[in-house]
Amino acid sequence: MKSSRNYLAVLIIIVTVYWSFNDILPSVTSSKTEIKPSEFSINNALFHVKNISQKPHYTGSSEHKKVQEYLVQELKKLNLEPEIQYQTAINKKWRAATTVENIIARIKGTDSTKALLLLTHYDSKGHSSLGASDAASGVATILEGVRAYLAANKVPKNDVIILFSDAEELGLLGAQAFVEKHPWAKDVGLVLNFEARGSGGSSYMLMETNGKNKTLLTEFLKANSNYPAANSLMYGVYKKLPNDTDLTVFREKGNINGFNFAFIDDHFDYHTEQDSYERLDRGTLLHQADYFISSLNYFANADLTNLDSATDQIYVNFPLTKILTYPFSWVLPMLIIAFLLFIALISVGLFKGKISAIAMLKGFIPYSISLLLCTGISYGLWQLLLIIHPQYNDMLHGFTYNGHHYIIAFIFLNIWIIFKVYNKVKNVKAQDLLIAPIAVGLIVNLLIYKNLPGAGFFIVPVFASLLILAILLFLNVNQKSKATLFAIISVPTIYMIAPMIQLFPIALGLKTLFVSAILLVLLFGYMLPVFYRENTKNGWQTFTGFVSLVFFALATFNSGFSKENKKPNSLVFIQNSDTNTSYWASHNKTLDGYTKQYFNENSLQGGTGLIAGKSKYNTSFNYYKKVENKNIRISNISINQDTVVNNKRNVSLTITPTRTINTYEFFTNTAIELSNFIVNGALYDNGNAFMTTKGTLLIYQMANTDKNLTISFTIDKNTKPDIIINEISNDLLSHPKFKVRPRSEIMMPMPFVVNDAIICTRKLVL
């Protein structure tokens, strides 16, 4: 690779990258310091966030009740009449259940045919998350947005329903209770859901629809958000992955369309005690507010009776137009046209002697090497870093505090690799080298058409590269101006792809840095002539290598933990009440001052036999140690019914806690078929028979209204149930029988696992 020494071209690239990120996130400094009462106030919203996120407020906690009372009062201040929906719900997918307490209010419209539902959840993730972003930010956005809307004396055409759902973190149970049991659910025509999976970054729009997206997308664009962040690749991937939000329940159980507005950056705060008022990005909150204001003003008066569509649209963020959109049906014709143009340009180039067949084929060598090296090194180097920094393994979501440093370091490392590879290429024209990236791009787009048509916008960069190729073949552009011209032509390509290079490792963890490497090689290949000049020494290689080393150094320097970036650790006490044996157990793979109270490097590892504490990422205990039994009290179990009728055994039992229990877990060691499965009066799947294999049978979170847990079911009379019941209380650190030394100020409870808990396990004798 040879340097063009054209700094203007490089400046265009840098500005475009900045533009692509800046265009999808408002700046706090640009917001007004003085606003009218009828305008959205970020200070008012932050006031709500601060009040809601003082302490963890998971379903069933005392703080949960306090937050509920606060929200009810705030809705009353808006002259609304909130109600609480009490309903036991069971999630069929995860076998999770609780008695939810949804907060619901309604603004009457002038001529409503279908209602607009404003949705977020007010419970935090147990047991330690403060829930400022997830989802106090959503609650605050709705409260302040509705206040401003009403202060402007606006009266909507459509009824507007506000739903602060409960128990979203347990399995979308509040949304399920509303859709299945509340009479207002049948009135809803569209849902706007506000969510978070981190504490910062742009909020992305994702749709939920059982049909096609054209009408929804058209209506979203009419709402005219100032900072739309969306593309149909994310939408396509989202639909293929098992990702669910409250909005999913409305689509699946109510056939109701909706929009998710969710931010996912700073993923390291997700579900932790660091999800705090202080760490919530103010620009991100403004982004949510922008979506809310534009959407409420539009959809409160729009026709919500039929938002289904027979066609799908490609859409992607695009310079100047905000969103580029066109039908899915264009994907194949555009691909065919690109193929034909490619063949035509090669043919003309060969005929005119502007392209050499041998040089063109040689061009595939450096491009293929670049792709293989960047992908392989990115994957392998991250695995090596996990060995060098084993503490990263204890961040279960896979995004470390220095993750942004790593992303930049890997980007510049990969650019350095590409420069290094192309530096070996001698006396080959830029048009010959451009053939390989375009050919690979066409193949990628063919695979996209077959497997992920939502990413069909990747054909746009191919057309930009074809234009560059045509200029190289047919025009005699001034040598000094070529790089600048090609950089300008590449602006849409950079604008579209650059944010995605960062998005994948943020959304899916740093283990996907190799995906970013693939995208980077594609991007670089499309704009290769910007940098390439024959027989000119390249200075950019040295620069990119230096930047990469600087950011690797920064990442290494910040690889530890601090008050601001705390180390997650876990500790539970497990008592087998059948055998009177007890264990300390931890999910940690690296020990620290907190876990070393009970473990050392020689402690038993594995713990897969300790079936206790359901983990989001299916992680088992890593360290465990047998200790003296503490004789923790266990719940009373009474059999209400045990009868056999027509070869069917009907069983009903009630479990009454003798101490504060947060969660009951039921696991079966054998496959078992049940029917008429009822949990605290809620019938599972309309009473239909279902077969459950070895694993989770039910996870029930005790709610504030629950005094006990009653379960009934029907099984074959010859079935011998082999069921384990775990009683989990989040009081390990306060229980009088334990003297656990508190965590230091640079530690916090590990999220996604049962933690700081006493777990009493035993067989359920039936």
What the block records as the tokens of 158 is: 């459509």
Q: Which residues are within 8 A (CB) of 7 and not within 5 positions of it... i.e. 6 or more apart? A: none
- pLDDT in the model for residue 1: 47
- Containing 359, the helix (H) or strand (E) segment is helix 357-362
What the block records as the tokens of 190 is: 């569209």
- pLDDT in the model for residue 327: 95
Q: Which residues are within 8 A (CB) of 384 and not within 5 positions of it... i.e. 6 or more apart? A: none
The secondary structure of the chain in percent helix, strand, coil, rounded to multiples of 5, reads 45, 20, 35
- pLDDT in the model for residue 2: 44
Q: Which residues are within 8 A (CB) of 558 and not within 5 positions of it... i.e. 6 or more apart? A: 401, 402, 405, 565
Helix residue ranges per DSSP H, 558-588: none
Q: Which residues of the chain have pLDDT under 50?
A: 1-4
- pLDDT in the model for residue 760: 96
Helix residue ranges per DSSP H, 273-324: 282-299
Helix residue ranges per DSSP H, 671-723: none
- pTM for the full model? 0.94
What the block records as the tokens of 631 is: 């004789």
Rounded CA gap, 380 and 373, in Å?
10
Local structure of 416: helix, strand or coil: helix
**Residue whose entry in the numeric block shows the structure tokens 């939502």:** 454
Q: What is the pLDDT of residues 30-46, one digit of tens each?
A: 556 567 889 999 999 99
Q: Which domains does the chain have, with CATH numbers?
A: 7-20+327-557 (no CATH), 66-318 (3.40.630.10), 567-766 (no CATH)
